[in-house]
Amino acid sequence: MYTLIAEELNLRWHQVKSTVELLDAENTVPFIARYRKEATGSLDEDQIRAIQERSKYLRNLEERKQAILKSIDEQGKLTPELAAKIQAATRLQEVEDLYLPYKPKRRTRATIAKEKGLEPLAQLILAQEITEGDPLAYAAAYVDADKGVASPEEALAGARDICAEVVSDDAEVRRIIRELTQAKGFLNSEAKDAENCKDFEIYKQFSEPLKTVPPHRILAINRGERENFLRARVEAPEADMILEIERLHIVNSRSIFTEEFRAAIADAYRRLIAPAIEREIRNLLTERADEHAIRVFAQNLRALLMQPPLRGKCILGIDPGFRTGCKIAAIDATGKYLEGSTIYPHEPQKRWNEASEIIREYIDDYQIDIIAIGNGTASRETEKLVAEVIADCSKTVHYTIVNEAGASVYSASPVAKKEFPDLEASLRGNISIARRLLDPLSELVKIDPKSIGVGLYQHDVDQIKLAESLDQVVESAVNQVGVDLNTASASLLKYVSGVNGRVAESIVKFREEQGRFTSREELKKVRGLGDNAFVQAAGFLRLPESDVFFDTTAVHPESYDAANRLLQELNLDVETVRKNGKLVSLQLKQSRRSLGELASVCGCGQETLLDIIASLEKPNRDPRDEMPKPVLRNDVLSIDDLYEGMILKGTVRNVVDFGAFVDIGVKEDGLVHLSRMAKKFVKHPLDVVKVGDIVEVKVLTIDKDRHRIGLSMVLD
């Protein structure tokens, strides 16, 4: 297994072996990637997860092999050659193809023919040895009214059914037809009602080669079928397929049964093989499209979670609405909820002046720095109100548009009810919108990742795989950033390596009862957090105000001795480094000692030593700080203000297979098509941009009737 995975993933054998052993010992992926670099050869999280997935697949495959070998053996049909083929197979499909002739079947035309005593006649056809005589004369010997065979023609028809099943069950035939269909086949779709295609107009007469059809089209066609608008099928050149099967099976064209065998082969392809291969390929296309869509969703989610926090700002969150009004909430620089209200500036109430006055009061009373407006219904109308208010403010106030996806889900969740038991559900979403600007990661972890709409067809893909992938993304982001042990919510803590929901609640409860943690060692007193969980979690849980300096860093407790020895070797002390971490690299350079020598003295590996040095240099480093900050505005645009050729800055809101949607400050997000992202060829938009990126774009087209704006990132 290790050798196969190493070859497939282009890794060294020992890297795979060590990683699998660490995973088997219940170490988490973030922990292995961050704190077991010597063992894995510094593999990253993606490589470790690839090993995890492939080892799981191969172990399941081995279990299936053993079950199949046992089944065939119990039938008394297992030969050394067959056993060797099954054992050598590396894909489940190969194993299932080999098992097909021995798999217990429901009652088929072939089994009925066998019951009528026609198997010997079928064997004559398959043997292709008889070159003289009349097939009907041979078939006449099998006519038996008692068994339901009334004529030689019926006998031959039954024998052909048996031959067709033999051909269909041939693993080599399945393999070749599968590969040929994938190479030469087409995915076709047509409308069930050409006058009523709804959103599937482009698929009402659609055909594309299987080898080039992109994932988003597969998912769109699947949805069209599911909603009963489309009919889709895989089609391949039938004559080529039948000819290929004949090439494999017809070894003596002089046989008197050749035409019977040809008829059986054609029947096998049309009735048995083609439908089965079509199902397989449709499933495979869907599986690959699912994986692609999930991967895009995961990358978008990660980019959204890793948006830089706007620390130290007092924020007013607004959840826009028409009839039910706009919910507003003020939070302070720590995220504490201060006050909330509802204003009615839009239809049908139209209390514009009153709404303006209330917003001004909140700005003055709570020293608001930024107003965060949700991007849902009435967003742009509310933006106009806010722009008008802040234009008359005595202090500088900006506003920005925030992705509000999932805010309503959070509002009604147990987490929100626990946080704000005295507030109605409708008044909680605006708090979430404000906090998403203050610290996106801490707020978004409270929401089911699937509800954060930054994907394509997320409701159509495999929901179990989607949830698993998105949870991995959240876990990875949380552990990359690190968590303040004294301020993190249970929703955030449960994603820390080694911590589950129950332990996260225990940590919060311990904090409430015993007061703030003063050291990582105190974690060991938390109920339910055992020794292994402590090892997994400790490095990712930080205490910025701890007296124990290393507790404020990403240095793992198991490396504290190594970190202390490093400082001693560099003639530095903890307090000096706490004040100026850059001295570590400076002293290291001046000492002229090799990394290998220092690692040996400190009693750790070189990769661990490098991480210790990086952690001491920037003890409170947040990787999100390196990301571009949100675009803050103080005026408002409408589609009427745009003109072709206009250059604007915008925020990438979503990335899909065919381009990226960019918020440029008008009601509709503009689309940068894949072909307009760069002067060079771009295979996928995610190779160029990600959610949250600030990009400069040129307006290409404006369609006011359809509310569509075409943009380009190629400015000249």
pLDDT confidence of residue 453: 63
CB-based contact 300:338 (threshold 8 Å): no
Quickly state the pLDDT bin for 592 (edges 50, 70, 90). confident
Instruction: Check residue 380 and give its pLDDT.
Output: 85
Give the pLDDT confidence of 161-181 residue by residue, as tens digits. Answer: 999 999 999 999 999 999 999
* Residue-wise pLDDT tens digits, 453-469: 666 677 788 888 888 99
- Residue 95: which H helix or E strand, with range? helix 92-99
Contact 168, 273 (CB under 8 A): yes
Q: How far apart are CA 459 and CA 624, in angstroms?
A: 29
Looking at residue 695, the DSSP 8-state letter turns out to be: E
Query: In sequence order, what are the residues at sequence separation of 6 or more whose Cβ sits closer than 8 angstroms to the Cβ of residue 231?
Result: 189, 190, 191, 192, 225
Residue 282 pLDDT > 90: yes
- Summarised one tens digit per residue, pLDDT across range 356-381 is 999 999 999 999 999 999 988 888 88
CB atoms within 10 A of CB 397: 21
Between the CA atoms of 226, 232, 234 and 239, what dihedral angle is there, to the nearest 10 degrees? 150
Structure tokens given for 514: 């015993």
- Sign of the CA dihedral with 361 first, then 364, 366, and 367 last: positive
* Contact present, 309 and 439 (Cβ < 8 Å): yes
* Rounded-to-integer distance, Cα 697 and Cα 417, Å: 42
Residue 630, pLDDT score: 79
Residue 75 forms beta bridges with which residues? none
pLDDT of residue 343: 96
Question: Going by C-beta distance under 8 Å and a sequence separation of 6 or more, which residues neighbour residue 21?
Answer: none
Query: How many whole angstroms separate alpha carbon 268 and alpha carbon 249?
Result: 12
* CA dist list (Å): 353 to 410, 438, 547: 31, 28, 53
Cis, bond preceding 308 (omega within 30 deg of 0): no
CA separation for the pair 254, 251 (Å, rounded): 9
242-258 pLDDT, tens digit each: 999 999 999 999 999 99
Dump pLDDT digits (tens) for 73-112.
Answer: 999 999 999 999 999 999 999 999 999 999 988 889 999 9
The 3-state DSSP class for residue 149 equals strand
The domains located in the chain, with CATH, are: 2-71+78-85 (1.10.10.650), 315-447+469-485 (3.30.420.140), 508-626 (1.10.150.310), 639-712 (2.40.50.140)
DSSP bridge partners of 341? 328
For residues 248 and 240, give the distance between their C-alpha atoms in angstroms, rounded to a whole number.
Answer: 13
Q: Is the dihedral of CA 703, 704, 705, 709 positive or negative?
A: positive
pTM: 0.83
- 16 neighbors 2 (Cβ within 8 angstroms): yes
Dihedral angle at the C-alpha atoms of 81, 82, 86, 87, nearest 10 degrees?
Answer: -30
**DSSP characters for 54-81?**
HHHHHHHHHHHHHHHHHHHHHTT---HH
pLDDT in tens, 197-222: 777 889 989 999 999 999 989 999 99
Share of the chain above pLDDT 90, in %: 76
Q: Which of 558, 524, 527, 553 is nearest to 541 (CA)?
A: 553
Across the chain, what does the average pLDDT equal? 92
Nearest to 638 by CA among 707, 698, 711, 693: 707
Q: DSSP string spanning 120-143?
A: HHHHHHHH----SS-HHHHHHTT-
Find the helix or strand (DSSP H, E) in which 341 lies: strand 337-343
User: Dihedral sign, CA of 142, 143, 149, 153?
Assistant: positive
Q: What's the confidence (pLDDT) of residue 705?
A: 85
